[in-house]
């Protein structure tokens, strides 16, 4: 039932069951947003994983969207996951008139 559990999550005592409903997925996203102290909008994919498929987001990837255009497309995680690079891209976007 639980498809993927990272060793780092196990070490940190983080265990979230595989979602069977959208409400479970939404609750997990709210928990993660709270625990990570995120102040940015957090979007939750539907149970059909359409956004993950379209953006090739599995297991993790950072995108910065400006209106309907992709401003930054990060590499797939965990090895090409680069929050610092994404931060610089966001600073560039926000400083452009």
For residue 1, pLDDT beyond 50 = no
Q: Is the dihedral of CA 46, 20, 26, 76 positive or negative?
A: negative
Which whole number is the average pLDDT over 34-44? 86
Give the global pTM: 0.64
Which whole number is the average pLDDT over 40-61? 86
Distance of CA 3 to the CA centre of its chain: 17
Residue 15: predicted pLDDT: 78
Say which range, 46-55, 56-65, 73-82, has the weakest mean pLDDT: 56-65
Banded pLDDT at 2 (limits 50, 70, 90): low
Residue 69 has phi, psi (to 5 degrees) of -115, 145
């Amino acid at each position: 039932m639980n498809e993927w559990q990272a060793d780092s999550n196990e070490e940190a005592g983080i265990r979230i069951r595989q979602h069977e409903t959208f409400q479970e997925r939404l609750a997990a996203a709210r928990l993660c947003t709270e625990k990570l102290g995120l102040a940015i909008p957090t979007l939750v994919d539907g149970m059909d994983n359409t956004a993950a498929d379209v953006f090739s987001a599995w297991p993790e990837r950072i995108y910065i969207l400006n209106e309907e255009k992709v401003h930054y497309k990060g590499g797939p995680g965990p090895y090409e996951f680069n929050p610092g690079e994404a931060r610089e891209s966001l600073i560039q976007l926000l400083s452009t008139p």
